[in-house]
């Protein structure tokens, strides 16, 4: 989630729709300037008793962050508390229960992305060894209740945690117990954004299936392969989902801005503090009628904050965020951007990917999204045309071709297609990561979910 430092009090106010769509227009870039921004979260635990460390305890989350200074990272504070670290590799920030997230820098190639991920994991592992801390690459805590988890000192989290139970049953699980991998990608024009958004949204169930890695809740199988993905279906219907309007004629920047105006607010950031505006209307804010800030109107920073509070499967800001995957190890952290870059950054691949999904009805898209968290590769495709496993074969072939066409070579002369190998193996075997964990749980683990900790980073 976003990390804010400065108040927006001195910025020009937003008075028109043109100002609302300006961030999206500003995001347009020529293909030569397209970049790859990878974000990934991991669960943090104490090795001696496997509990989630608090913020303030010795070798807790604060100390883990501050130890990153030895690698050149600089602290970011909110209310006198360090809540993130900023450096050349992006930002290391805190999710609500202390999940550590690297929001990586915008990079040109997947080789750079995977090197960045490797540096980050090496750094936190080195610190973890000294502090008796380990990290799990899963989509959800396999054994922790909500009550067992700490809450980090970020003002927006307190507001969100108070509001979540009012609009859904699983929002607190989303905040406290889940981890994801996502990738942020560029577009060249409004039309390019629309095509990428539609392909990305239609194929999110495939990403959910390939990366499904959250089959346990509180020590037992939960009946899903990606429970993290299922959680989003009962978090907040006003800001989640498959967004039917994206596939309608006329979709573009203005339609997205109108959608975001209808997403209820969470907060406003003023003078270094978050003001609770949960459930209030950004439209009222633009009219100077926000009850918690009467007479004030929003600034560009307020709008940018608000753009970060919708959680659909694909999200638009000044770039597109692909949001459908569970957390996982290094190989899958590299594979997710490889998958989407291969499909979306070459026009021939993008057109071929759209051909895979363009004839689906909205009802069929919704059904596939609902089936994927439970059935993964076995979920049936629209029209009885095979399963997600079959779709995976076709999509991966397109992604391979798209990456090969990019021709980005590393020092050894290898192109970027190698980062898809872990997904190729998943589709070939027919078993997603969660199914392998369940197989182990029912055999060599002796139904003891604590054995999952041997899969630490």
Among 317, 3, 263, smallest CA distance to 156 is for: 3
* Model confidence band, residue 12 (pLDDT cutoffs 50, 70, 90): confident
pLDDT above 50: residue 141: yes
Q: What gap in Å lies between CA 140 and CA 137, rounded to an integer?
A: 9
Map residue 185 onto helix, strand or coil: strand
Domain definitions of the chain by residue range: 17-455
Burial of 390 (0-12, 13-18, 19+ CB in 10 A): middle
Map residue 283 onto helix, strand or coil: helix
The strand pairing partners of 36, in sequence order, are: 107, 185
pLDDT at 8: 46
Q: What is the pLDDT of residues 267-278, one digit of tens each?
A: 999 999 999 999
Give the residue-averaged pLDDT of 340-362: 98
pLDDT at 282: 98
Among 203, 227, 257, 239, smallest CA distance to 396 is for: 203
Looking at the structure, give the CATH architecture of the domain made up of residues 17-455: 2-Layer Sandwich (3.30)
Reported in sequence order, the residue ranges of 50-132 that DSSP labels E, i.e. its strands, are: 74-78, 81-87, 90-94, 100-104
The residues near 296 (Cβ < 8 Å, ≥ 6 apart) are 285, 288, 290
174: alpha, beta or left? (left if phi > 0; alpha if psi -120 to 50): alpha
Q: What is the pLDDT of residues 219-271, one digit of tens each?
A: 999 999 999 999 999 999 999 999 999 999 999 999 999 999 999 999 999 99
Q: What gap in Å lies between CA 87 and CA 22, rounded to an integer?
A: 27
Q: What is the pLDDT of residues 92-104, one digit of tens each?
A: 999 999 999 999 9
CB atoms near residue 336 (< 10 Å): 27
pLDDT above 60: residue 113: yes
The residues near 72 (Cβ < 8 Å, ≥ 6 apart) are 87, 88
Among 242, 307, 309, 268, smallest CA distance to 24 is for: 307
pLDDT above 70: residue 91: yes
């Amino acid at each position: 989630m976003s990390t804010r430092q400065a108040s927006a009090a001195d910025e020009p106010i937003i008075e028109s729709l043109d100002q609302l769509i300006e961030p999206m227009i500003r995001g347009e870039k020529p293909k030569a300037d397209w970049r790859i921004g990878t974000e990934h979260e991991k669960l943090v635990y104490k090795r001696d008793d496997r509990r989630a460390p608090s913020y303030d305890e010795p070798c807790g989350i604060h100390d883990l962050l501050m130890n990153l200074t030895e690698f050149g990272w600089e602290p970011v504070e909110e209310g006198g508390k360090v809540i993130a670290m900023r450096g050349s590799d992006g930002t290391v920030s805190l999710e609500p229960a202390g999940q550590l997230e690297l929001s990586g820098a915008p990079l040109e190639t997947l080789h750079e992305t995977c090197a960045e991920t490797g540096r980050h994991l090496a750094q936190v592992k080195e610190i973890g060894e000294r502090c008796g801390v380990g990290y799990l690459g899963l989509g959800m805590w396999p054994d922790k209740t909500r009550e067992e988890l700490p809450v980090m000192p970020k003002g927006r989290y307190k507001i969100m945690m108070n509001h979540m139970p009012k609009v859904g049953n699983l929002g607190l699980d989303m905040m406290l117990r889940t981890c994801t991998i996502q990738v942020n990608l560029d577009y060249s024009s409004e039309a390019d954004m629309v095509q990428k958004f539609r392909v990305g949204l239609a194929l999110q169930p495939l990403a959910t299936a390939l990366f499904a890695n959250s089959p346990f809740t509180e020590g037992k199988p939960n009946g899903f392969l990606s429970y993290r993905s299922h959680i989003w279906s009962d978090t907040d219907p006003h800001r989640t989902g498959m967004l039917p309007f994206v596939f309608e004629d006329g979709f573009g920047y203005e339609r997205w801005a109108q959608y975001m105006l209808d997403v209820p607010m969470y907060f406003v950031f003023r003078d270094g503090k978050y003001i609770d505006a949960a459930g209030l209307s950004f439209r009222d804010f633009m009219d100077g009628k926000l009850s918690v800030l009467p007479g004030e109107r929003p600034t560009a920073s307020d709008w940018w904050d608000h753009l970060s509070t919708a959680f659909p499967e694909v999200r638009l800001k000044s770039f597109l965020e692909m949001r459908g995957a569970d957390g996982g190890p290094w190989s899958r952290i590299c594979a997710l951007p490889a998958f989407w870059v291969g499909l979306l950054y070459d026009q021939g691949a993008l057109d071929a990917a759209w051909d895979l999904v363009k004839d689906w009805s909205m009802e069929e898209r919704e059904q596939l999204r609902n089936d994927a968290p439970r059935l993964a590769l076995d979920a049936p495709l629209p029209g009885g045309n095979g399963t997600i496993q079959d779709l995976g074969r076709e999509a991966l072939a397109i992604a391979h071709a798209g990456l090969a066409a990019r021709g980005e070579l590393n020092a050894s002369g290898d192109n970027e297609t190698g980062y898809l190998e872990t997904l190729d193996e998943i589709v070939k075997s027919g078993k997603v990561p969660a199914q392998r964990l369940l197989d182990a749980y029912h055999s060599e683990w002796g139904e003891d979910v604590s054995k999952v900790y041997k899969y630490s980073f």
